[in-house]
Structure 1
Amino acid sequence: MSNAALRAASTRRAFTLVNPAGLYDPAPNGYSHLAAVHPGARLVLLSGQGGEDAQGRLPADFRAQVRQAFGNLRIALEAAGAGTQDVARLTVLVVDHTEERLRIFGEELERAFGPAMKPACTLIPVPRLALDGMLFEVEATAVLPA
């Protein structure tokens, strides 16, 4: 299937984001409680994206890494004919997690995904990532119509 055909197929969502009654509203924290995948949908599984640019350079600044990682995520999504609106789930890894880093992540998530409901998401504080100096990594599952 061509990228144009994949993009056309992704114009309608193949999943529904839900925040069930009885659970707190996670929207202020930038995520939804669950993503229900519709029958026949096609899953796109993206490896964790860090803050490296195309030449492999990694900035020292946490915000710059988060912004670049979301940019890298968009490039990977586009290669599958998808966009941020097709992301049903994120897994986020943060080195030396703090409330300040959570705030920065939330701001950059809003910048990358816009005002719509955010995907289901789990943030995992970690002591280290794959590369020296790497502070942030984001993995995604996108869902497209079959």
Structure 2
Amino acid sequence: MRVAIGSDHGGFKLKQEIIAFLVEEGVTFQDFGTHTPEACDYPDIAFAVAQAVARGEYDRGIIVCGTGIGVAIAANKVPGIRAALCHDTFSARMSREHNDANVLTLGERVIGFGLAREIVGVWLKAEFAGGRHARRVDKITAYEQEALAR
């Protein structure tokens, strides 16, 4: 699995912790920034990670900001992205199994490092269940394509 990861300054410390976890787990990843704790604009990072996933260069993406909200909103503007803001392991698993989320967003100011590691671990291992869920995800994709064609 190849993971694109990024954060703004508000998620920088948590992103570093997640990177350490990915290294421990042997997950291949690319850090899309920011590379310092200096202030930056979260949409720039979210778009870069989401576009890399949407192009198929990475299987999944992880984006961190202070709350996870801003990067989720931005990432979901990229066609083909289903970004899920998760602050617990149940939501993380369900976002994969039921919604086929391809981007996980997290908030550094909302969860601690230990919980973030658990969430990322569960999210990376979970697989899309398909079945009735595929029909629903397909409807989202079809709507997105129709909207783009207008």
Question: Which category describes the TM-score, using the shorter chain as reference length?
Answer: under 0.3
Q: Answer 1 or 2: which has greater helix percent.
A: 2
The two structures have a TM-score, normalised by structure 2, of 0.24
Q: Larger RCO: Structure 1 or Structure 2 (Cα < 8 Å, ≥ 6 residues apart)?
A: 1
Q: If each structure's strand is expressed as a fraction of its own residues, which one has the higher value?
A: 1
